[in-house]
Homo-oligomer: A and B are copies of this chain.
Amino acid sequence: MSGLEKIADNLAFGGRQQQWLHNSEALSCRMRFSVYLPPAAEHSKLPWLLWLSGLTCTDENFSHKAGAQRLAAELGVALVMPDTSPRGEGVADDSAYDLGQGAGFYVNAEREPWRGHYRMYDYVSQELPALLRRHFPLNGRCAIAGHSMGGHGALVCAIRRPQDYVSASAFSPICQPTQAPWGRKAFAAYLGNDETAWAEWDASLLLAERGCPLPLRVDIGLADAFLAEQLRPDALQQAARRGDTRLELHRHAGYDHSYYFVASFIDQHLRFHARHLLA
């Protein structure tokens, strides 16, 4: 049983901004997610954007800070915001901000103490979309996007299962986690020390090997303190060239890693996805 329960419902730009709880089978815990349903959702099933958030975030950061609902309402594109990890007292955690709760990294963990709950890839790519299409006015046309760790998640999902999406985009993504401190720490914990197993969770390695038939867009701020060490967009760009992938990579002078950067360009991402979602 999904145990689906609505815990918040606010009118926003003529549509509904809602927060829900449900029992996740993939994660073996109760999970919260947010959804924004534009006014047009009252009359028909809408295409939708799945947004994956970054380290320390919940379903609320994008909902509160990105300012995406205004244009989503106008375009008739629904927004879905999952949490960033399993949660709860029985769920393994770590005192660091970049491991454990709030830091699921959108992988399926294989190591103790994580593997019982930390299956965020299965959750965001399979279980949650199925639940959403069953219970919400959403159709089969889905785009995926995210920020930082969530940008990594969005790219990995899109490259691994391009048949599930019409387009993918990312703000400030961790483009090559196997070579970045955040990624190496998380992958060692969740996946183990055999680095060959990490390759299937690294967007740059995946893209170089498989390519991606989807239109991809990535935006990076050049004043992002994490740019060189953690994000490594050059690796993604090189992989896209090798894989013959349509990647638009936009570099923005002066912008940093914050949601002010996301808010500044979210309209461009929504219009990018709408071209494919509404085609």
Contact = CB atoms under 8 A, between A and B. Distances in A.
Contacts of A260: 10-12, 17, 69
A182 interface: no
A205 B273 CA distance: 52
A259 B13 CA distance: 11
A11 B255 contact: yes
* Secondary structure class of chain A's binding surface, majority of residues: mixed
A254 B10 CA distance: 8
Interface in A1-48: 10-14, 17
Contacts of A261: 10-12
A82 to B, nearest CB: 19
Contacts of A221: 11
A264 B237 CA distance: 37
Interface of A: 10-14, 17, 64-65, 67, 69-70, 221, 223, 254-256, 258-261, 263-264, 267
Given A11-B223, A12-B261, A13-B264, 9 more contacts: A10-B258, A11-B255, A11-B256, A11-B261, A13-B263, A64-B64, A64-B259, A67-B67, A67-B70
